[in-house]
């Protein structure tokens, strides 16, 4: 198969245009949400011949997907089994607190393997690598964890999983941080694959335990914004462990996009598979496509999907998009140029996207809780790269504190999926009515 990334921009666009027309014809047959939207807005999808016509379709907001994820599934009974069978359902966290299911058919799983093989090629992952999956085992299946194996399969690498994360469920399958360190050492892992702050914790613990990490050559990190200073600190820790190399691959992507790829550290992010994905920066108000290099809202369009299909979907990040060949590696196709700024009113805590308002709205329902405050802070305040801690400060008059703490933890996990530490304080510490100070229910100290 020819590598489309080595073709001209015009050739890439011709492939994208043909795939787009077919995708839209399938949506016109069997995508409930877009059929209804097009009918109501008098949009004629047959007028969209090229990616330049995409603004005719308007934009898709994340809220539309979260409101009715089932309506975003393509349902065309005549398609072959591989394009209809559900291979897996992964979930993306959103502001409703309920994760949104993204349906992946066999066809889409193959497309992801194809995309992951390109990512491996661009970012230098090979069939000699051993990947340690350090993503947490979460209550709903998250793309980052689920897709690690697909990334290994696609490149021919080996993969092991630490099964980290906050324990839940009846079977006691989660493992500890120390277990993760020993797993990396035992399998001579070459790649650590996980949420930035947890990967860092593994490196720190490896140093404390004197673990042999000399096989390590790359940390592929994602899930939370990582600054250049933090990535440099990761490199220093890898060097201190006498790692074989100290590459930090800053993975950018999402459940809806899959993974994009950097051809060099701190570089732009290539769209590794323009055959199946189209990226544009748009004006979020008007829906207009913006010229190359102009920053706007990142909008993605699936060109060849059969499960959940999204057209001009606003990911929630502000970026610029470039279509010229990469000055570093020469590959064509869209590139996302940072900095990536999250425009959502969601915040990341311990690598999870949460909506603080949802928690604030739910906590007052906890019996025996008189006053409360939610604090996000660094676990170690003196360490600028420390992991996050979610703290719920609680005041009560007369309730059993152990039982109340359990109720607060259960409520918080139920609302946003993050386990908090609970601290009991006097009500006046949270809100002093004599001072008439404004009550701050949510404080982010990071
Ligand atoms: Zn490049």
pLDDT per position as a tens digit, 29-71: 999 999 999 999 999 999 999 999 999 999 999 889 999 999 9
From the CA of 267, how far away is ligand 1's center (Å)?
8
From the CA of 290, how far away is ligand 1's center (Å)?
22
Structural domain of residue 405, as residue ranges?
Answer: 355-444
What pLDDT, in 10s, does the model give residues 238-278? 999 999 999 999 989 889 999 999 999 999 999 999 999 99
In a domain, 110, yes or no: yes
Residues 123, 128, 132, 138, Cα dihedral to 10° = 70
SS3 35: helix
- Helical packing angle, 228-240 and 196-209, nearest 10°: 20
From the CA of 415, how far away is ligand 1's center (Å)?
41
The whole model's pTM is what? 0.79
Q: Which residues of the chain have pLDDT under 70?
A: 1-2, 94-97, 224-226, 343-346, 432-439
In a domain, 350, yes or no: no
Please indicate, yes or no, whether residues 60 and 173 belong to a single structural domain of this protein.
yes
For residues 56 and 45, give the distance between their C-alpha atoms in angstroms, rounded to a whole number. 8
Please indicate, yes or no, whether residues 243 and 327 belong to a single structural domain of this protein.
yes
From the CA of 334, how far away is ligand 1's center (Å)?
10
* Total of domains in the chain: 2
From the CA of 333, how far away is ligand 1's center (Å)?
10
Please indicate, yes or no, whether residues 100 and 239 belong to a single structural domain of this protein.
yes
CATH of the domain at 365: 3.30.300.30
Phi/psi at 417 (5° precision)? 80, 10
SS3 18: helix
Q: Which of 274, 309, 344 is the last residue of a domain?
A: 344
From the CA of 9, how far away is ligand 1's center (Å)?
14
Q: What is the DSSP string of 356-407?
A: HHHHHHHGGGSTT--EEEEEEEESSTT-TTPPEEEEEEEE-SS--HHHHHHH
Please indicate, yes or no, whether residues 374 and 315 belong to a single structural domain of this protein.
no
Order of all β-strands in the sheet with 269-270: 269-270, 335-342, 313-322, 296-302, 277-282
Nearest to 177, CA basis, from 199, 192, 147:
199
From the CA of 17, how far away is ligand 1's center (Å)?
23
Contacts of 327 (CB under 8 A, 6+ apart): none
SS3 258: strand
Q: Which of 295, 318, 344 is the last residue of a domain?
A: 344
Please indicate, yes or no, whether residues 329 and 374 belong to a single structural domain of this protein.
no
From the CA of 132, how far away is ligand 1's center (Å)?
25
CATH of the domain at 94: 3.40.50.12780
From the CA of 332, how far away is ligand 1's center (Å)?
8
Q: Looking at residue 46, what is its pLDDT?
A: 97
Please indicate, yes or no, whether residues 280 and 161 belong to a single structural domain of this protein.
yes
From the CA of 7, how far away is ligand 1's center (Å)?
14
Q: Looking at residue 95, what is its pLDDT?
A: 45
In a domain, 284, yes or no: yes
Nearest to 83, CA basis, from 101, 113, 102, 109:
109
Please indicate, yes or no, whether residues 139 and 54 belong to a single structural domain of this protein.
yes
Respond yes or no on whether the N-terminal peptide bond of residue 339 is cis (omega within 30° of 0).
yes
In a domain, 139, yes or no: yes
From the CA of 327, how far away is ligand 1's center (Å)?
7
From the CA of 193, how far away is ligand 1's center (Å)?
21
Please indicate, yes or no, whether residues 266 and 397 belong to a single structural domain of this protein.
no
In a domain, 40, yes or no: yes
Please indicate, yes or no, whether residues 30 and 149 belong to a single structural domain of this protein.
yes
Q: Which of 344, 377, 407 is the last residue of a domain?
A: 344
Please indicate, yes or no, whether residues 281 and 417 belong to a single structural domain of this protein.
no
From the CA of 268, how far away is ligand 1's center (Å)?
7
Sign of the alpha-carbon dihedral angle for 163, 167, 170, 175:
positive
CB 248 within 8 A of CB 234: yes
From the CA of 28, how far away is ligand 1's center (Å)?
36
Please indicate, yes or no, whether residues 14 and 118 belong to a single structural domain of this protein.
yes
From the CA of 264, how far away is ligand 1's center (Å)?
7
Please indicate, yes or no, whether residues 318 and 395 belong to a single structural domain of this protein.
no
Q: What is the DSSP string of 81-120?
A: HHHHSEEEEEEE--TTSSPEEEEEEHHHHHHHHHHHHHHH
From the CA of 432, how far away is ligand 1's center (Å)?
56
From the CA of 261, how far away is ligand 1's center (Å)?
9
From the CA of 262, how far away is ligand 1's center (Å)?
7
In a domain, 349, yes or no: no
Phi/psi at 28 (5° precision)? -65, -25
- Return the DSSP state at 337: E
């Amino acid at each position: 198969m020819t590598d489309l990334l080595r073709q001209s921009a015009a050739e890439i666009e011709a492939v994208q245009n043909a795939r787009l027309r077919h995708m839209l014809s399938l949506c016109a047959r069997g995508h409930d949400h877009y059929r209804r939207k097009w009918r109501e807005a008098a949009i004629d999808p047959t007028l969209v011949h090229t990616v330049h016509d995409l603004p005719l379709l308007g934009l898709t907001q994340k809220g539309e997907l979260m409101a009715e994820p089932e309506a975003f599934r393509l349902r065309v009974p005549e398609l072959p089994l591989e394009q209809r069978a559900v291979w897996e359902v992964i979930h993306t966290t959103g502001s409703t607190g309920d994760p949104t299911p993204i349906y992946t058919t066999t066809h889409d799983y193959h497309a992801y393997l194809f995309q992951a093989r390109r990512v491996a090629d661009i970012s230098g992952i090979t069939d000699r690598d051993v990947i340690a999956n350090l993503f947490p085992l979460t209550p709903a299946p998250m793309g980052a964890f689920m897709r690690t194996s697909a990334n290994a399969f696609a490149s021919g690498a080996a993969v092991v999983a630490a099964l980290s994360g906050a324990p839940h469920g009846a079977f006691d399958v989660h493992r500890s941080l120390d277990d993760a360190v020993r797993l990396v050492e035992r399998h001579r892992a070459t790649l650590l694959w996980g949420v930035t702050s947890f990967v860092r914790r593994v490196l720190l613990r490896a140093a404390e335990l004197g673990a042999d990490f000399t096989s390590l050559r790359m940390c592929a990190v994602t899930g939370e914004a990582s600054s250049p200073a933090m990535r440099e600190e990761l490199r220093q820790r890898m060097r201190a462990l006498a790692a074989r190399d100290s590459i930090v691959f800053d993975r950018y992507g999402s459940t809806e996009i899959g993974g994009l790829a950097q051809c060099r550290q701190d570089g732009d992010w290539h769209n590794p598979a323009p055959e199946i994905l189209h990226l544009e920066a748009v004006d979020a108000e008007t829906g207009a496509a913006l010229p190359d290099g102009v920053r706007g809202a990142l909008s993605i369009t699936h060109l060849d999907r059969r499960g959940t299909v999204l057209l001009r979907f606003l990911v929630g990040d502000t970026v610029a998009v470039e279509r010229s060949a990469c000055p570093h590696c020469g590959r064509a196709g869209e590139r996302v140029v940072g900095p990536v700024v999250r425009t959502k009113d969601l915040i990341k805590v311990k690598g999870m996207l949460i909506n603080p308002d949802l928690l604030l709205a739910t906590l007052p329902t906890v019996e025996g809780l008189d006053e409360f405050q939610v604090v996000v802070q660094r676990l170690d305040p003196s360490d600028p790269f420390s992991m996050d801690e979610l703290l719920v400060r609680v005041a009560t008059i007369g309730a059993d504190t152990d039982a109340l703490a359990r109720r607060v933890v259960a409520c918080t996990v139920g609302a946003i999926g993050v386990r908090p530490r609970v601290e009991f304080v006097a009500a006046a510490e949270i809100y002093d009515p004599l001072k008439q100070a404004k009550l701050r229910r949510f404080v982010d100290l990071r």
